[in-house]
Amino acid sequence: MVHVLETFLQELTESQEGAVRWDKGALLVLAGPGSGKTRVLTCRIGRLLDESRGQRFRILALTFTNKAAHEMAQRVTQLVPGLEDRAVIDTFHGFCAQVLRQHGVHVGVKTNFAVFSDKADRQAVLEDALRRAAQRYARDASRLLSYIDSLKARLVPPAEAESELTKYPGIGPEDARRISHAYRNYEGELQRANALDFSSLLIKVYELFGYPAMVRHYQQVYRFWHIDEFQDTNNAQYQLLRRMAGREFRDIFAVADDDQIIYEWNGASVSRIEEFRRDFCSKTKFLPTNFRCPARIVEVANHLVSRNYRRVAAKPDSKAARQKTTGQARTIQCRKFHTDDAEARGIAAEIAQMDRTAREQTAILARNRYLLERVLDALQQCRVPAAVLKRRDDFLTPEMRWLVACLDQFTRPRDLRSFRTVVMSFNELAEVALDLEQLVSLAEAKQATCFSLWMENIRNANMQSPAAQYVGTIEELWERRLKPKAAVQQITHEFNRDRSNHDLQTDLKAWHQLTNKFRFRNGNPSLNRFLQQLQMHSKEPDVSHGTVRLATIHGAKGLEFDDIYLIGMAEEVLPSWQSIRRGDQSAELEEERRNCFVAITRTRRNLHLSWADKYSGRQKQPSRFLGEMFGTDNFGHIQCPD
Ligand code: ATP
Ligand code: MG
């Protein structure tokens, strides 16, 4: 056995060990934050890999964010170095993309499909579709898209959309017809572009697993399945899992916390935990000890969440592994400010006093991104390196957007969307004004590809701009005198000369990290895979040393930090105005409470709670959640009971 794995196994508690040693059949590990669910899951993968050396089957682990998948993969590598290749650890969507690359042809998906993840891109697809169908109402594409997304999240096909929509509150028959038309046209447009959005990735694999031979194949290749953060599985993901397991496969290991469901708006539900137990005849194990948070935080978190009704009754309350400290600095600090600006400046000034190592272990959390932006500005004014943890859908600079679009054209020359990016981003970086529409009609008339016509135009223009050189390199790639890797290296090397362009340097850093992570190689299958992975991942580089993280509560799921600053603890902020409108006992208000619960339980050492009298100029009261945590309603004072 590998030394690291052995050490980890020895550190486990009895209940954790019981879960790690779980052998056959379905198991649900239901436990609170910081109880070691992710640790148990990765240790189990390590143990299974270690005990099956020399065998060829694989182990599957699914989670919700690329970051979480990446961290899990790193932990497995650390536990069983050299065996990690037999573990496929990915997001649901990433896994579906892999499946479709291999077998998508059976459900009409070509291997070089594009993934449209960006909302703006998808909205543009819908607008194009509506224009093409001469359908009116293109103005409310954003609203239509959210209905389409909600139908797709429940695997409702276009043919059934109309009748399904009449069950939605506030949708009349005319509206239902219109949305279902838009849905059908949107799907047609995606197909025309040989593209899939995130929901389609799941839907297509669901369709594929309608073939029993496919299901058998995946069950044989992946002998054991794991799911982290199972509580946030939506309907489509769960139906996919059921179909993939069929009637017999039961070796599924899921870890969940019903008190951390924060995607109810996206279809997650406490009843799914019950469904899992019923559908897979799963056993349940509890891990009662919280290893992450100080005792006082475990206590207030339990107080808070006990106010919710929609919970799994059998799960015991968390107990802290650590004793309550006395005589030391307060574990929890509460601060009140007059305005949101003062709150942002106050928090930034406090963090500016920390050293680099402490800053790196600090996160500022808020319910909404706009609150974080204020703190980010304030930190920048104090010259504190800070980064908002959020997905960046596209590169910042026209240089990198152009390069990626050229690679797209190389594999998918008929894709007009990436061609548009080629022309527009090159126009911007070379300060020229080639006309997109003109190029497209000329290409149609000449029956040429748009991209080769564009290159010809650039060549004939005899440009003095250094950007013309890049096009020369791309032409060599197009004519197959250069391989993709060499062409990209030449071009990024040229980009790298521009040291003063901060955004370009940031993009290049992200690019190098992504190309290393996804093993960018030559050859078309590899280029397709690389481009699809690129489309599904954030285009921002890893956070550098000494940087403070800012994140929404959703973005901080599963993570932990020494110091957590939770800002905006005011009524109509957390809980949100919408949830308050729904009423005290509403599902929405309970979800807000869980958001607060998730946020405070990210803390390893200190929790700093703050609120202001006014947000965006409007008077607010302190959040009811403060009262629920500390058992007092009087939050006019600054210190909280510790
Ligand atoms: P969340 O619900 O927030 O995702 P989790 O249940 O997945 O939390 P982990 O992230 O696996 O919890 O573990 C929380 C912390 O506790 C980690 O730092 C982990 O290393 C530590 N930990 C877990 N089990 C033990 C143990 N038996 N001994 C020491 N530390 C432990
Ligand atoms: Mg976890």
Q: Which stretch of 97-106, 390-399, 461-470 has the lowest confidence by average pLDDT?
A: 461-470
Q: Ligand 1: does its nearest atom lie under 6 Å from the Cβ of 561?
A: no
Q: What's the whole-number mean pLDDT along residues 59-87?
A: 93
Greater model confidence, 326 or 640: 326
Q: Is the pTM of this model over 0.75?
A: yes
Q: Ligand 1: does its nearest atom lie under 6 Å from the Cβ of 266?
A: no
Q: Which ligand is nearest to the CA of 560?
A: 1
Q: Ligand 1: does its nearest atom lie under 6 Å from the Cβ of 12?
A: yes
Rounded to the nearest angstrom, the distance between the alpha carbon of 446 and the centre of ligand 2 is 57
* Residue 477 structure tokens: 């790639």
Q: Which residues pair with 320 in a beta bridge?
A: 290
For the cut 50, the answer to whether the pLDDT of residue 337 exceeds it is yes
* Residue 365 structure tokens: 């959390």
pLDDT confidence of 390, banded at 50, 70, 90? confident
The pLDDT assigned to 529 comes to 86
Rounded to the nearest angstrom, the distance between the alpha carbon of 558 and the centre of ligand 1 is 10
Q: Ligand 1: does its nearest atom lie under 6 Å from the Cβ of 558?
A: yes
CA-32 nearest atom, ligand 1:
2
pLDDT confidence of 614, banded at 50, 70, 90? very high
Q: Whose CA is nearest to atom 11 of ligand 1?
A: 36
The pLDDT assigned to 1 comes to 67
Please calculate the CA angle 544-548-552 and round it to the nearest 5 degrees.
115
Residue 172 burial (CB < 10 Å; 0-12/13-18/19+)?
Answer: exposed
pLDDT, tens only, 532-549: 989 988 898 888 888 999
Rounded to the nearest angstrom, the distance between the alpha carbon of 229 and the centre of ligand 2 is 7
Sign of CA dihedral 207, 210, 214, 215: positive
* Residue 311 structure tokens: 């919970």
- Residue 516 gets the label, from left (phi > 0), alpha (psi -120 to 50) or beta, of alpha
Q: Which stretch of 23-37, 203-217, 265-279 has the lowest confidence by average pLDDT?
A: 265-279
Q: Whose CA is nearest to atom 2 of ligand 1?
A: 33
* Residue 374 structure tokens: 């204020």
Rounded to the nearest angstrom, the distance between the alpha carbon of 559 and the centre of ligand 2 is 7
The pLDDT assigned to 638 comes to 45
Rounded to the nearest angstrom, the distance between the alpha carbon of 412 and the centre of ligand 2 is 39
Q: Are strands 603-615 and 618-619 parallel, antiparallel or unpaired?
A: antiparallel
For the cut 60, the answer to whether the pLDDT of residue 639 exceeds it is no
Rounded to the nearest angstrom, the distance between the alpha carbon of 512 and the centre of ligand 2 is 28
Mean pLDDT: which of 135-144, 377-386, 519-528 is highest? 377-386
The pLDDT assigned to 302 comes to 95
Q: What's the whole-number mean pLDDT along residues 189-207?
A: 93
- 13, 39, 298, best to mutate for ligand 1 pocket (most atoms within 8 Å of CB): 39
**Contact 114/195 with Cβ under 8 angstroms?**
yes
CA-257 nearest atom, ligand 1:
2
Q: Ligand 1: does its nearest atom lie under 6 Å from the Cβ of 291?
A: yes
Look over the chain and give the mean of its residue pLDDT values, rounded to a whole number: 91
CA-40 nearest atom, ligand 1:
11
The pLDDT assigned to 524 comes to 62
Q: What are phi and psi of 336, to 5 degrees?
A: -115, 140
**Contact 256/94 with Cβ under 8 angstroms?**
no
The pLDDT assigned to 266 comes to 80
Q: Compute the 3-state secondary structure of the chain and give helix, strand, coil in percent, each to the nearest 5.
A: 55, 15, 30
The interaxial angle of helices 235-245 and 212-221, nearest 10 deg, is 90
Residues with CB under 5 A from ligand 2 (ion): 37-38, 558
Residue 58 burial (CB < 10 Å; 0-12/13-18/19+)?
Answer: middle
Q: Ligand 1: does its nearest atom lie under 6 Å from the Cβ of 507?
A: no
Q: Ligand 1: does its nearest atom lie under 6 Å from the Cβ of 34?
A: yes
For the cut 60, the answer to whether the pLDDT of residue 85 exceeds it is yes
Q: Whose CA is nearest to atom 30 of ligand 1?
A: 291
Percent of the chain whose pLDDT exceeds 90 = 68
